[in-house]
Chains A and B, each alone.
Chain A
Amino acid sequence: MANEDASTGRAGVVHGGDMDHAKEAAPYEYPFEMASEDEIRFRDAGAVEGRPAGVPSSYDEGGSTRWTPEAISEVHALAQLGRYQVRGYNTFNKQLPTFDDLTFVPATMTRLPLEGYREKCETKTILGGGRGLVEKPLELDIPIYIASMSFGALSASAKASLGHGASKVGTMTCTGEGGMLEEERSASSRLLYQMSPARYGVDLDHLRRADALEIVVGQGAKPGTGGLLLGMKVSPRVSKMRTLPEGVDQRSTIRHPDFLGADDLSVKIEELRIATNYQVPIFIKMGATRPRFDVAVAAKAGADVVVVDGAEGGTGASPELLLNHTGIPTMSAIRAAREALDDCGMTGKVSLVAAGGIRSGVDAAKCLALGADAVMIGNASMIALGCNSPRYLEDYSALGTSPGACHHCHTGRCPVGIATQDPDLEKRMDPTAGAERIARYLTAMTMEITALAKACGKSSVHNLETEDMRALSFQASAFTGVKMAGIDRAFDW
């Protein structure tokens, strides 16, 4: 211990062995009377015997990083139910990044911006024409379309509203796995027809009436697991369309009945091309797990469009563990998918669509910059329809939730009439107002994308690139290969 000898003013060191030579220090005496123990321990502040005041009881506050209140309630739930929990909506995993971890770096001196309020920026998006194989590639006016959500998960009027809204702004909607709904077909100028492994309601007539076909091999919310529709939503009409007993808890298969691997899939794609006379593009939709390899395989198998749905993707019902603990973030999946297409010479031949947790035009613009040719929105479009809007508060309360926090799509008791098959609840969503909100939301999103693209000096939204962004966290940089703000280098890519 270094100290200073007060009497000599000489710096010295006191060692145990030198104690004989050290000056004996007299105990320090306060020049005032010692305070009482009560005063020292803030007894007037209500401190109790055995516990310092101002220090909360560990029993009251907890603070375990392992046994959080959420972890404890999870154990209670499993212990009482004897099965995993099921819910709708999307991931609650706090570790996933958000698109806010990326920022745009618009044109300044090295690049020239476009006039944001005046100059044009192309938004037209062509999907599925790259191979030159199909007669009618999809021409969308904007780089956004409505994600596949089934009739069953959503009400018929919600599906029709999505179709009308998308049609108004010149884009597409998707059937989801529940088969083709007449209301949706007639409402949608462009309709993507989904063939899930369960093949509910798939027939040749519907295939030929679709503007594109999608083979589903997984979804971002629960990759590796089939669809789930609880009995409350298997209404007479849903049961008829899916050839299911009414009211059963439908748990769909995830393996396709007629192909197992990539080689068979390529034959399946050829079958669909023949069945539709080479008219429409074939999509393959997958949950984001190993996109670098999965996307390459899908492209090689013959898909015209590959849809990569990140872990943030939504669902009407899923085991909660899959929602929270499977898949990789959308932002990381896009980069890996784009690199995969580049590596196997498929960029330009195969279009890439990104999905999962896209909330705004800003998020969508980031997806485009990371390498997507288009994005699709599911949860966001439901919210635009009115999901989680502050109406019918007593019904939110009956579900044990509130507007802004509701994730009870799985119950079929949607307070605002979107994710339900109950005829009375369904009436709560005005389909015409819903359609207009969808159209406005898509328009606003597109404006957001073009505003960013023009600031970055791009005359087409498809010219956005990773160089237009910087990462605000090392994590986001590592996920995407986008340069880290400041050091201006990509994190280990």
Chain B
Amino acid sequence: MSEIVIEVGKRHIREINEEIQEACKTGQPIRVIDTLSRHNLGVGLPDGADITFEGSVGYFCGGLNTGSTITVERNCGWALGEGMAKGHITVNGRAGMSAGAAMIGGTIHVKGDAGPRCGVAMKGGNIVVEGTIGYQSGFMAHSGKIIALGGAGESCADALWEGEVWVAGPVESVGVDVNVVEPTAEEVAEVDQILEPLGLVDNSRDWRKMISGQRLWYFEARDASAWLMI
């Protein structure tokens, strides 16, 4: 199938995104060139589109994605795939801060390192980072998995809800209220199922699975009567 090429350059971001949205309707693969690390490229993309950004992109690339397959050939800025519900984002380079912030579904795959607060407040889906994840990654993640093959920075998995952070490598420090557990074989198999389509399964990995210690979940009691006096 022939490819639609869209040139970014210095045009207004609205014009570029409208062109991308129109191109998505054709069902043809889309190649976006001359990206100049512009912010807000490919925001709110529909289900089923296939789009490649040639070069680096700025903030919010693939934000609120609803099912497109997005490839960034070099690096991306903050909040890659922010709030995305469905789809697959691959970054061949590195990702900046807050990759996958508040995402609710789909997969983000970063081949390099990801910056601080990777997967912050995520509500579902999976983030796979082949390199390391930065400071306070997984902060208040509600659901979903952050999988870092290279390692993690300080304050990892801080204040989790039901999200999980998996690290196969050194962790500089864990955040507050974290339980670091040995995963069971079944749990590792689940993670391998996520890694398998990415060609990243390696049975020799020494996993550290981080989940919430649940000490921050309860102020004092679940019982309403404890609150009546105040």
Contact = CB atoms under 8 A, between A and B. Distances in A.
Given A257-B98, A257-B117, A275-B63, A270 B40 contact: yes
B39 A267 contact: yes
A197 B222 CA distance: 24
Contacts of B78: 258-259, 264
Given A243-B123, A243-B142, A274 B218 contact: no
A361 to B, nearest CB: 34
A5 interface: no
How big is chain A's contact interface, by range?
A: 35 or more
A16 interface: no
Given A257-B117, A271-B64, 16 more contacts: A198-B140, A199-B102, A203-B83, A231-B219, A243-B143, A243-B162, A245-B161, A249-B219, A258-B101, A264-B78, A267-B40, A268-B79, A271-B82, A274-B44, A400-B228, A411-B228
Given A257-B102, A258-B102, A274-B13, A410 B140 contact: no
Which of A198, A257, A267, A400 gathers most chain B CB within 10 Å? Answer: A257
A485 to B, nearest CB: 41
B230 interface: yes
A258 B230 contact: no
B98 A258 contact: yes
Contact of B121 (A83, A249, A257, A412): A257
A231 B60 contact: no
B37 to A, nearest CB: 12
A202 B59 contact: no
A86 B82 contact: no
Interface of A: 77, 81, 83, 85-87, 197-199, 202-205, 207, 230-232, 242-245, 247-249, 251, 253, 257-259, 264, 267-268, 270-271, 273-276, 278, 320, 398-400, 408, 410-413
B14 interface: yes
Nearest to B61: A271
B134 to A, nearest CB: 14
Contacts of A274: 13-14, 17, 40, 43-44
B230 A199 contact: no
Contact of B224 (A204, A207, A232, A276): A232
Given A86-B230, A275-B44, A413 B224 contact: yes
A244 B219 contact: no
Given A245-B162, A258-B82, A264-B59, A270 B39 contact: yes
Interface residues of B, number: 44
Interface in B89-121: 98, 101-102, 104, 117, 120-121
Contacts of A242: 142
13 contacts: A202-B83, A203-B104, A232-B222, A243-B123, A244-B161, A248-B218, A264-B59, A267-B59, A270-B40, A274-B13, A275-B43, A399-B228, A400-B229
B124 A243 contact: yes
Contacts of A268: 59-60, 79
B142 A77 contact: no
A411 to B, nearest CB: 5
B71 interface: no
Contacts of A244: 142, 161
B13 A270 contact: yes
A271 B80 CA distance: 12
A236 to B, nearest CB: 14
A203 B85 contact: yes
A248 B221 CA distance: 9
A87 B229 CA distance: 10
Nearest to B63: A271
Nearest to A400: B228
A227 to B, nearest CB: 12
B89 to A, nearest CB: 15
Interface in B109-148: 117, 120-121, 123-124, 139-140, 142-143
A275 B217 CA distance: 33
A244 B217 CA distance: 10
Interface string B8-25: 000001100100000000
Contacts of B58: 267
A207 B64 contact: yes
Nearest to A249: B219
A244 B140 CA distance: 11
Nearest to B124: A243
A432 B57 CA distance: 51
B122 to A, nearest CB: 8
B220 interface: yes
B56 interface: no
A258 to B, nearest CB: 4
Interface in B184-230: 216-220, 222, 224, 227-230
Contacts of A271: 39-40, 43, 59-60, 63-64, 82
B64 A253 contact: no
A268 B39 CA distance: 9
